[in-house]
Amino acid sequence: MIRFGPAGNSESFYAQGYKASWQAPAWLRAMGLSAYEYSFGRGVSLKEEMAEKIAGCARENDIAVSAHAPYFINLANPDREKREASFRYITDSARLVCRLGGDRVVVHVGALMKLEREEALQNCREGLKEAYRRLDDLGLSHIHLCPETMGRKSQIGDLKETLGFCLMDERLIPCIDFAHLHALGQGALNREEDFASVLDAIEAALGLDRARSMHIHFSTIEFTAAGEKRHRTFAEEKYGPRFEHLAPLLRERGYAPRVICECHGTMAEDAKAMLEIYQSVETQNIPLV
């Protein structure tokens, strides 16, 4: 089952008088959405009692929950203290996503700093292995870490690198951020064929079954020569990429991902727009692969 939902809460959620994230699942279900990504981007500070309250509301409303680990993680960093902090961010996120009733944690794997790219990549590979050793020791071996494709040249996680990470352990699920790929490629995703080449690469690396259940981040994006600048909204029509080019491919290939919208401030509304685009494709009776 393909699911759509927002990363965090839209501005309209608060404008309508809602104040707490435990209220989000029922609000999202009323919109027809079925996924929700809780952000630990600025740190893991959610209390376990509140996490369990959100989990209960999510179960009642059939909302699949995932979490985004802190942005501070950098498994490329060779500094022992900084690496320990990164491992702690990952394990804390995994512990809390369990309390939230979820099993997926999206991770920004690392950044180059002043390292050669291959050295940074090797540090990240070893870091992901160590992260799973620690999750296993904590009884959290069922948690899926989702390395995310990144949008800046200074970051680790282009498409090939991200898929390479996922080959190390079947529990690793790629988080394919199409906005980041668009920015990194300087506006590379403009046609259905462009999106098909991305899906082809995922299927070739991981197989069709794993590709079908991947994690997706989608928004429009503004970028510079260095890559990602900021996420935009669907209403800002001059920005891409556009979900209309991806939806038919997800349908015809039988994909069942979680599609999380990261549009700035309108993430729930734009997630609903993606749901409606996908539903319009479903009515066309496109034959499944």
Total number of domains in the chain: 1
Residue with tokens 């928004």: 219
91 in a structural domain: yes
111 is a domain residue: yes
pLDDT for the residue 287 = 62
Q: Residue 53 burial by CB count (10 A; 0-12/13-18/19+): exposed, middle or buried? A: middle
Q: CA-CA distances (angstroms) from residue 206 to 147, 154, 200, 209, 210?
A: 14, 25, 10, 8, 6
Q: How confident is the model at residue 108, as a pLDDT?
A: 97
Report the pLDDT value the prediction gives residue 284, as an integer from 0 to 100: 82
287 is a domain residue: no
User: Confidence class of residue 282 from pLDDT cuts 50, 70 and 90?
Assistant: confident
Indicate whether 209 belongs to any domain: yes
Name the residue range of residue 138's domain.
Answer: 3-282
Is residue 259 within 8 A of residue 213, CB to CB? The reply is no
Quote the DSSP letter at residue 144: E
Residue 64, in any domain of the structure: yes
Q: Does pLDDT of 289 surpass 90?
A: no
| Res 146: pLDDT | 98
Taking residues 216-239, what's their average pLDDT?
97
pLDDT digits (tens, 9 = 90+) for 196-210: 999 999 999 999 999
54 in a domain, yes or no? yes
285 pLDDT higher than 70: no
> Percentage of the chain surpassing pLDDT 90?
97
CATH code assigned at 46:
3.20.20.150
pLDDT(237) > 80: yes
178-190: average pLDDT: 98
Please, what is the average pLDDT of the chain?
A: 97
Nearest to 163 by CA among 131, 201, 193, 195: 201
